[in-house]
Structure 1
Amino acid sequence: MSGDALHDRVFLTRVLEPGDETGGRWVRELGVGEVARRLRGGGAVLPGVSGKRWAGLRARAGNAEPGRDLAAARAAGVRFVAPGDGEWPRQLEDLGDARPLGLWVRGRSSLRIWALKSVAVVGARACTEYGAQVAVGLAAGLAERGWVVVSGGAYGVDGAAHRGALSAGGATVAVLACGVDRPYPRGHTELISRIAEQGLVVGELPPGDHPTPSRFVLRNRVIAALTRGTVVVEAAYRSGSLVTARAARRLGRPTMGVPGPVTSALSAGVHELLREDAVVVTDAAEVVELVGAMGELAPERRGPVLPRDLLAPGARRILAALPAREATAVAEIARGAQTTPDDTVARLYELRALGYVERHGDGWKLTRQAMVSVGRGPGDR
């Protein structure tokens, strides 16, 4: 990118808010240079903007100094990545006119390469111990499988996800709603610095810029677009993480949720997401099955194999037909199992050899060992 084009894009990141679709349309239709020229006062008012808003944009333009921003970025070890650059993640183009004008990146790795195999793990800031534990385990499992964990650097689930990935020696990306040279929240200064050392810290806003509620919401579309899918771990009905998940769904990315207690308000938003069309996931293997390559299937889930599971179907029917307390005649057992008396006798001797039944005169009953293994108690028939 030429020096003028770079300065114009950096200038626009200081003038236009993230996700400004009107501004994005100007850039698409007129080009970065022309939009910057007009905002600096070198031409007609840009289309589709009120006089009041135009005055506000012009005031911002008067204070923008792209050279200063680039110098501050270099001093903080931050680079500016723009559409068309080799490091630009092309999936961000899915945002259309709401795509970022560029991204400020802190860290040594390639954002484009990392984004190719990344998953967003997001959730409640005021998460429960359960939510934090799930986020750590999920992120660590993804990192161990070679996936990059992307989140927002916030308290709660976000921080737990970043820590889980780092603890597994994996890769993680924090997408901030402020300048990447000023960690936010302040309590995560050490964590975000560690992410910048081992991973990447990314944001749309120029150095020194501060977060606002609307910027947090708009930041979430970048997390959704950057990644192959989004997992929500705990979220109330009004949660920014649901904004991320729904943005991912609109972009055609898999949307996943980890269920929690139905009595918890912090799981209510996730459960609503699951009622819509998100997929239930409980661990990293299930996430990878949805976002990974064909054939990366999660293991089949089964309960423990019990000794009776190894019996032939006919023997299991005889076992089920035997009462727990009293010896029963062969004819009655055969009726209960819907088979012949001869078949019943053969199966009973087979079961006796395995320790499941014992003979009492002309009748048969379960052994004490069998009652434990089949879940019967002395009060059962």
Structure 2
Amino acid sequence: MALSLVAEPGDPRLPVLLAAHEPGRVVEAIRGGAPLPDVRLPDAWRERGHDLDRLVAGATDRAAAGRLRWICPGDRGWPARLDDLDHVEPLHGTSGAPLGLWVRGPGQLAQLVEHSVAVVGARDCTTYGAECASDLGADLTDAGWTVVSGAAYGIDGCAHRGALAMGRPTVAVLACGADVDYPRSHSTLLDRIAEEGLVVSEQAPGEAPLKNRFLSRNRIIAALTVGTVVVEAALRSGSLNTLHWADQLGRVTMALPGPVTSKASGGAHGAVREGKAVLVTDASDVVEEVGGLGVGEVAGPSEQTEFDRLPPATRAALDGLDWQVPRTPDEVAAAVRSTVRDVRRALAVLERHDLAARQGPGWVLVRRADTG
């Protein structure tokens, strides 16, 4: 925790440093103790190290006031997926697994995200995007998946609300302290998320949402989940950054399409076109992608049509008939590669079912058999 208050979370220098030195030993060196061999610590870390006791006291006091708790690797509630971040290349100056997370809410993070999907997208979304995100959030939750997003305006907020509408938990990952309501108008939404799910951040309590912290936050969203689906993203949308992290981590990457004329979906369409995301249209598509083929399929046989209930030879004869041009049994038999005798029997069955009728020496279709 002390180290997380000294170094900016996501600092790409941390994974290499912690691979060689225990966190407590690094903190000791930052405080001015014995230096680490062959390591020059950043001046900013050493300057904050002089005030480390006050920083720790301030963070723990704010955490207590905001009912936050700190979890870190080794704790029961720590999601093992986050450790994958130590094995991917930095992006926009950010990399590495978080040193720990501050969480607000009753849920256990590892349990909530075991089956989870990130739903992200444009802040300035269209009505179409808002409706799609809400439906996706509700339907994924109803299917037993936890929705993870960033609680921002637009798609994020709609996805969270869709999940909450089903009375199930959702997880919000913030770019500021987990006790900070950002955006401010989402304070009620964040309170509801904290009541039924979790509000999560690697930033210390009280920290402000700086621009680079949104990009750093995106890697947490991508790493926590099995897959990420983008709902509306312009060509330079920040949600594409989350999609890129998911791709780097080997997670499932998906995009929900919008109208081809919509600039709000240009980035999502581009991701599909470039092979960086699978096109999905609803929650069943998403569940099939993240859960494996067949997971989203409805159990049991589908409703049969009258065509399905016909004997194979009769179905074949039906396929050989036309709506307007009468065909003789010989012509039908030649078309479907059957015998004339089998075709004659089939035509008699079709006539009894009012599916075919005689017209001179031939037969024509009179009614469809595949509609019920």
Settle same-fold status: TM greater than 0.5.
Answer: yes
1:90 and 2:89 correspond = no
Query: Which residue pairs with 1:379 in the alignment?
Result: none
Q: Structure 1 residues 118, 315: closer, same or farther in 2, change over 3 A?
A: same
Q: Structure 1 residues 32, 336: closer, same or farther in 2, change over 3 A?
A: closer
1:110 and 2:101 correspond = no
Q: Over residues 19-65 of structure 1, what are the superposed CA-to-partner deviations in whole Å (9 max), with x where a residue is unaligned?
A: 11213333342332332233334455896669xxx343444445552
- Once residues 251 and 79 of structure 1 are traced to their aligned partners in structure 2, the CA distance between those partners, rounded to angstroms, is 27
- Equivalent residues of 2:123, 2:156 under 8 A apart: yes
1:33 and 2:33 correspond = no
Normalised by the length of structure 2, the TM-score is 0.83
Normalised by the length of structure 1, the TM-score is 0.81
- Equivalent residues of 1:285, 1:299 under 8 A apart: no
Following superposition, the deviation at residue 348 of structure 1 comes to 2.2
Q: Over residues 214-246 of structure 1, what are the superposed CA-to-partner deviations in whole Å (9 max), with x where a residue is unaligned?
A: 111111111122222222223233233222223
Amino acid at match of 2:139: G
- Once residues 228 and 300 of structure 2 are traced to their aligned partners in structure 1, the CA distance between those partners, rounded to angstroms, is 23
1:19 and 2:10 correspond = yes
Gaps spanning 5+ residues in structure 1: where? Answer: 1-8, 376-381
Q: Structure 1 residues 361, 163: closer, same or farther in 2, change over 3 A?
A: same
Query: Which residue pairs with 1:3 in the alignment?
Result: none
After superposition, where does 1:345-360 map in structure 2 within 5 Å? 345-360=344-359
Q: Structure 1 residues 289, 282: closer, same or farther in 2, change over 3 A?
A: same
Query: How many aligned positions are there?
Result: 360
Following superposition, the deviation at residue 304 of structure 1 comes to 7.5
1:245 to 243, 248, 251: 243
Q: Over residues 167-210 of structure 1, what are the superposed CA-to-partner deviations in whole Å (9 max), with x where a residue is unaligned?
A: 11111110000011111112211111111111110101112211
SS at match of 2:254: strand
2:217 to 216, 219, 228: 219
SS at match of 2:167: coil
- Aligned-pair RMSD on alpha carbons? 3.2
Mean CA deviation greater in 338-347 or 183-192: 338-347
Gaps spanning 5+ residues in structure 2: where? Answer: 87-94
SS at match of 1:98: coil
- Once residues 38 and 57 of structure 2 are traced to their aligned partners in structure 1, the CA distance between those partners, rounded to angstroms, is 28
- Once residues 301 and 201 of structure 1 are traced to their aligned partners in structure 2, the CA distance between those partners, rounded to angstroms, is 39
Q: Over residues 278-319 of structure 1, what are the superposed CA-to-partner deviations in whole Å (9 max), with x where a residue is unaligned?
A: 444444344344444897453389998543344344434433
Query: Which residue pairs with 1:175 in the alignment?
Result: 173
Amino acid at match of 2:44: G
Query: Which residue pairs with 1:299 in the alignment?
Result: 298
Following superposition, the deviation at residue 153 of structure 1 comes to 0.9
Amino acid at match of 1:145: A
Query: Which residue pairs with 1:4 in the alignment?
Result: none
After superposition, where does 1:189-228 map in structure 2 within 5 Å? 189-228=187-226
Following superposition, the deviation at residue 350 of structure 1 comes to 1.7
Query: Which residue pairs with 1:78 in the alignment?
Result: 68
- Equivalent residues of 2:177, 2:206 under 8 A apart: yes
Q: Over residues 327-371 of structure 1, what are the superposed CA-to-partner deviations in whole Å (9 max), with x where a residue is unaligned?
A: 55444444444445444333222211111222244343333xx2x
- Equivalent residues of 1:124, 1:157 under 8 A apart: yes
Larger Rg: 1
Amino acid at match of 1:230: T
Q: Structure 1 residues 174, 315: closer, same or farther in 2, change over 3 A?
A: same
Mean CA deviation greater in 310-319 or 287-296: 287-296
- Once residues 344 and 145 of structure 1 are traced to their aligned partners in structure 2, the CA distance between those partners, rounded to angstroms, is 47
Query: Which residue pairs with 2:151 in the alignment?
Result: 153
- Equivalent residues of 1:286, 1:298 under 8 A apart: no
Query: Which residue pairs with 2:44 in the alignment?
Result: 56
- Once residues 326 and 294 of structure 1 are traced to their aligned partners in structure 2, the CA distance between those partners, rounded to angstroms, is 43
After superposition, where does 1:333-372 map in structure 2 within 5 Å? 333-367=332-366, 370=367
- Once residues 293 and 33 of structure 1 are traced to their aligned partners in structure 2, the CA distance between those partners, rounded to angstroms, is 42
- Once residues 337 and 84 of structure 2 are traced to their aligned partners in structure 1, the CA distance between those partners, rounded to angstroms, is 62
- Once residues 345 and 185 of structure 2 are traced to their aligned partners in structure 1, the CA distance between those partners, rounded to angstroms, is 72
- Equivalent residues of 1:146, 1:170 under 8 A apart: no
The structure in which a higher percent of residues are helix is 1
Q: Structure 1 residues 345, 295: closer, same or farther in 2, change over 3 A?
A: closer
Q: Structure 1 residues 229, 326: closer, same or farther in 2, change over 3 A?
A: closer
SS at match of 2:261: coil
Q: Over residues 58-91 of structure 1, what are the superposed CA-to-partner deviations in whole Å (9 max), with x where a residue is unaligned?
A: 4444555210111011011111222233332232
Percent of aligned positions with the same letter in both sequences? 45
Mean CA deviation greater in 324-333 or 210-219: 324-333
- Equivalent residues of 1:38, 1:46 under 8 A apart: no
Q: Structure 1 residues 323, 102: closer, same or farther in 2, change over 3 A?
A: closer
Q: Structure 1 residues 227, 351: closer, same or farther in 2, change over 3 A?
A: same
Query: Which residue pairs with 2:264 in the alignment?
Result: 266
- Once residues 36 and 334 of structure 1 are traced to their aligned partners in structure 2, the CA distance between those partners, rounded to angstroms, is 86
- Once residues 366 and 287 of structure 1 are traced to their aligned partners in structure 2, the CA distance between those partners, rounded to angstroms, is 41
